[in-house]
Each structure stands twice: as structure tokens, then as C-alpha cells.
């Protein structure tokens, strides 16, 4: 994460303080104002909230799973399991049975959902208490997942088997129509779970806030703020019986706010990820262009400088003049290709780029360039850049040294192969080292191909032109 970007974000403490103030005012209003009720009969809204909570939990858990795959940190695993557990409780045990009117008994759904949600709360508390730097081996993480699934299955099977024997979660005589004042009418176990849950979320708020402030973690920033709403929702559930699926409680709205803040954190995390990816891509492209300019244009200009110095010592040296002319031509080609690479669209197909280069070379050197390009070819940017420069160097050499009038350019796939054939004068391949003006260009082609895992093969004979083949396979001549 970019430190400068982290300083521009709001402090986790400030966000947590604002959320705490808003939730505290809302709780005070519900408790003291008689016209603000704890519960409202709205079965469809209750199902919609639980479904939305489950879907958000699954989305954020998928993001956390990606984090865990990269870091193998225990905290990420526990947070992932906590979100997955509450998603199961919200969707499979509350939303779906309520929407489809299925289930062995109402008490089964209430007790089972309550216990599994509490299990998720314990996991989130464990995530808050664990060190952000602690790692866990893959085998141990698998065992933790297996144990958790076993516990959830045991809870569900036990509730389904003994659901008729479970005591009422809320006193059946409670009338929800008068829901404007606190009423501790739940089973002692229910009240205890809500009270302990509120304490766990409060402690998680403090811990996550400190970690987010210390590490600059964007997701923990919003998880900490969400834990504030989760803690206040448990207080609302404690103050008034809140396990009837036909009613929407103020605690439900606060709990929904918890998931909304998680969603905001996930969205900001994704945005930060793509910002980092974009900056990395721009930096990599700048480094690539720097390498190209260093290996191409800078080398040619350096060669021109050295040859000019030699020419000053011996003005009649024709070989030095030829070297200067060749280096100047290559430098000009390098500059033109750099400008073209910077100005072309990033998503332009390689075949289209190669065709444009062929047309440009034909017009620049006054030769006929025939192209036979397989449009199914898909290659990496590094290979594309190397092949474009090899084509430019090959055509320039064919015109300047081979005095050719036409060039045939063929690109095939499966395996990838680029063939450049000219009708120039040709030369003895085994004597290329003796041809000093052209040596650097041929060496450059070999090096560029090898750098991207390809091989260059040159076939030529005096009077028979030259064929240059760049292949993803290694060939022998």
C-alpha cells in the first residue's frame, strides 16, 4: 500500500468515533422516545435483510479468501470463517426457511441460527485477538475448516432432532405490538449470548481500530467501524426479544449497517487493488521503454559518437563513414519505434500492429513488403515488442546492405514463427562476423529473440537473398 495514499484516508479512530456516536444516539432515541418502536411487523423486509446480509458476507469472505491465499495469515482465515459462518446462519437457517415456509419448528430455526451466529461472533473475536503477522500452514487451516464444518453440522442436526424439546427462546406471552420500551423477556441463554456478543464486538472494535491505524489496512478500517454497529445491534437484541422472523427490529437495521460497512470496505479494497495494479503496470512500461532506449537508441548514439571520433582522426576512412551511417539509421528507427509504441492503443492486436509496421517500412525504404499474417496469433507484450524490432532491423538490413526490392513477411501460430525473406544480394552466414557494418544488427536480433525465449535462424547465400526465421522452437541449420 502506498503510504502517501494511506495518509489521505480518514483515520480509523475518527470513523469509529462517528459510527459510535450515530449508533449511540439511535439507541438512546429508541429507548427513550415512545413513538420510536423496537420492532415492526414486516416479514418480507426481514427476509430481504437476512438475504442481503448473507450475500454481502459471502462477497467479503471471497475477498478475504484471496487475501488468505496470498498471505496464509491466521487472522485472514479466522475472519473468512467468521463471515462464512454468519452467511450460513443468515441464508440457510433464516432467510430461506422464512421465505419458503419450511423447517421442522420455529424454535429449531431460532436456536440454531442463534448458536451458529454466536459461533461466527467467537471466530471474529478470535480474528481480532490474533496477531496480524501470524501464519498458519495449509494442513492446519484445512483441519480448522473441517472442525468448524463438523460443529455447524452437529448444531444443525441436534437442533433438527431435538427442536421440539427446546425451550422457547422468548416468553410466548410477550406482545410485540407494544414495542416502545425495553423488555427483557428472552430465555436466559439468549440474553447471555447477546450480552457476550456485544462485549466481543466492542473488544473487536478496539483491536481492529488499533491494527488498522498501525498497518493502514483499508479493509480492517471498515471492519472496525462495522463492529461498532454489530455491538449496538446486540444491545438492541438484549433490550427487547428479537427472534421472531415476522418482525424487523432496530437491531436488524444496525446489523445490516454492519454488513454495509463491510461492503464499503470491500469496494475500497478492490479499488485500491486496481490502483496499485495500474501504477505497477505504468511503472513496468516505463522500465521497459527505458530498457529499449538504453539497449537501442542510446547504444546507437554512443556508436555514432565513437565513430565520429575515429573519423576525425582519419577523414578518409570509408568504413567508419559506413558505420556512422548504419548507426544513425538504426538510431532513427529506434526513435520511430519508441514513438509508435507510446502512441498506439494498449489493446491493439499484434497482427494489426505488425501490418502497420510493414506498411510503414515499405513506404520509408521504397520496397514492396508482402505480408501473410495468421490473425489467430496471440503473444505476450514482451515477445510482441521483440518481434517488431527484429522486423524493423531485418528490413533495414535487407534494403541498406542487400539492396533488395521486395520483402516477404510471414507470421504463423502453433508454434509461433515469424519469417522474413528478401530478394537482396545475400551473404555467407558463416562469414557474418567479417561484415562489420552489419554485425551489430544481426547480433541484436539474436539477443532480442533469446530474451523472450525464441531462436533466430538466418539462411543466406550470395545472389539468393536472405531468410530470417524467429521461432518459439529451437532449430538447427
pLDDT in tens, 39-94: 888 888 888 888 888 899 999 999 999 889 888 899 999 999 999 998 887 776 66
Query: Which pLDDT score is estimated for 178?
Result: 54
* Confidence at 429, pLDDT banded by 50, 70, 90: confident
Choose between 410 and 279: higher pLDDT: 410
* Confidence at 139, pLDDT banded by 50, 70, 90: confident
Query: Which pLDDT score is estimated for 387?
Result: 92
Tell me the mean pLDDT in the region 99-111: 60
Cell numbers of 75, please? 487472522
For the ranges 237-246, 370-379, 410-419, 430-439, which has the lowest average pLDDT?
430-439
Tell me the mean pLDDT in the region 256-267: 92
In the predicted model, what is the mean pLDDT of the chain? Answer: 81
Tell me the mean pLDDT in the region 241-248: 74
Q: β-strand 455-460 against 466-471: which pairing, if any?
A: antiparallel
For the ranges 179-188, 406-415, 417-426, which has the lowest average pLDDT?
179-188
CA nearest 238: which of 201, 183, 199?
A: 183
401 pLDDT exceeds 50?
yes
Q: Which of 17-21, 89-93, 384-388 has the highest mean pLDDT?
A: 17-21
Q: How many CB atoms lie within 10 A of CB 186?
A: 24
Query: Which pLDDT score is estimated for 209?
Result: 93
Query: Which pLDDT score is estimated for 437?
Result: 44
Provide the b/e sequence for 220-248 (b: ≥16 CB within 10 Å).
bbbbbbbbbbbbbbbbbbbbbbbbbbebb
Query: Which pLDDT score is estimated for 18?
Result: 93
Question: What does residue 182 show for φ and ψ, rounded to 5 degrees?
Answer: -60, 145
Cell numbers of 264, please? 464499503
For the ranges 194-198, 248-252, 276-280, 373-377, which has the lowest average pLDDT?
276-280
pLDDT in tens, 295-316: 666 566 666 766 676 666 666 6
372 pLDDT exceeds 70?
yes
Q: Which of 14-23, 39-48, 236-245 has the highest mean pLDDT?
A: 14-23
CA nearest 72: which of 140, 169, 129, 163?
A: 140
Tell me the mean pLDDT in the region 316-322: 67
Amino acid at each position: 500500500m502506498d503510504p502517501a495514499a494511506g495518509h489521505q484516508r480518514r483515520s480509523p479512530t475518527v470513523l469509529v468515533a462517528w459510527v459510535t456516536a450515530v449508533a449511540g444516539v439511535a439507541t438512546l432515541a429508541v429507548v427513550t422516545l415512545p413513538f420510536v418502536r423496537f420492532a415492526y411487523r414486516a416479514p418480507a423486509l426481514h427476509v430481504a435483510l437476512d438475504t442481503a446480509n448473507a450475500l454481502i458476507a459471502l462477497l467479503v469472505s471471497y475477498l478475504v479468501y484471496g487475501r488468505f491465499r496470498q498471505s496464509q495469515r491466521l487472522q485472514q482465515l479466522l475472519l473468512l470463517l467468521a463471515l462464512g459462518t454468519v452467511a450460513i446462519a443468515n441464508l440457510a437457517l433464516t432467510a430461506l426457511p422464512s421465505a419458503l415456509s419450511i423447517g421442522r419448528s420455529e424454535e429449531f430455526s431460532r436456536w440454531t441460527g442463534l448458536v451458529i451466529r454466536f459461533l461466527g461472533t467467537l471466530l471474529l473475536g478470535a480474528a481480532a485477538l490474533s496477531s496480524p503477522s501470524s501464519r498458519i500452514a495449509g494442513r492446519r487451516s484445512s483441519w480448522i475448516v473441517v472442525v468448524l464444518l463438523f460443529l455447524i453440522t452437529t448444531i444443525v442436526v441436534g437442533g433438527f432432532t431435538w427442536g421440539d424439546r427446546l425451550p422457547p427462546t422468548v416468553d410466548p406471552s410477550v406482545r410485540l405490538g407494544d414495542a416502545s420500551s425495553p423488555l427483557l423477556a428472552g430465555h436466559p441463554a439468549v440474553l447471555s449470548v447477546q450480552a457476550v456478543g456485544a462485549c466481543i464486538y466492542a473488544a473487536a472494535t478496539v483491536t481492529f481500530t488499533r491494527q488498522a491505524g498501525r498497518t493502514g489496512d483499508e479493509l480492517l478500517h471498515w471492519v472496525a467501524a462495522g463492529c461498532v454497529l454489530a455491538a449496538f445491534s446486540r444491545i438492541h437484541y438484549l433490550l427487547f426479544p428479537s427472534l421472531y422472523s415476522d418482525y424487523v427490529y432496530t437491531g436488524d437495521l444496525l446489523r445490516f449497517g454492519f454488513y454495509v460497512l463491510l461492503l464499503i470496505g470491500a469496494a475500497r479494497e478492490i479499488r485500491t487493488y486496481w490502483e496499485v495494479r495500474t501504477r505497477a503496470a505504468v511503472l513496468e512500461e516505463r522500465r521497459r521503454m527505458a530498457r529499449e532506449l538504453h539497449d537501442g537508441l542510446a547504444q546507437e548514439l554512443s556508436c555514432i559518437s565513437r565513430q565520429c571520433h575515429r573519423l576525425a582522426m582519419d577523414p578518409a576512412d570509408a568504413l567508419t563513414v559506413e558505420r556512422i551511417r548504419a548507426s544513425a539509421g538504426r538510431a532513427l528507427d529506434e526513435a520511430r519505434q519508441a514513438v509508435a509504441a507510446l502512441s498506439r492503443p494498449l489493446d491493439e492486436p499484434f497482427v494489426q500492429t505488425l501490418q502497420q509496421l510493414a506498411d510503414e517500412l515499405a513506404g520509408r525504404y521504397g520496397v514492396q513488403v508482402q505480408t501473410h499474417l495468421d490473425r489467430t496469433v496471440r503473444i505476450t507484450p514482451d515477445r510482441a515488442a521483440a518481434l517488431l524490432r527484429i522486423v524493423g532491423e531485418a528490413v533495414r538490413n535487407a534494403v541498406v546492405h542487400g539492396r533488395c526490392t521486395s520483402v516477404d513477411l510471414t507470421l504463423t501460430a502453433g508454434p509461433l514463427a515469424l519469417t522474413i525473406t528478401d530478394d537482396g544480394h545475400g551473404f555467407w552466414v558463416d562469414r557474418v562476423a567479417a561484415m562489420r557494418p552489419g554485425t551489430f544488427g544481426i547480433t541484436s536480433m539474436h539477443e532480442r529473440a533469446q530474451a523472450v525465449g525464441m531462436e533466430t535462424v538466418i539462411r543466406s547465400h550470395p545472389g539468393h537473398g536472405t531468410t530470417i526465421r524467429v521461432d518459439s522452437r529451437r532449430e538447427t541449420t
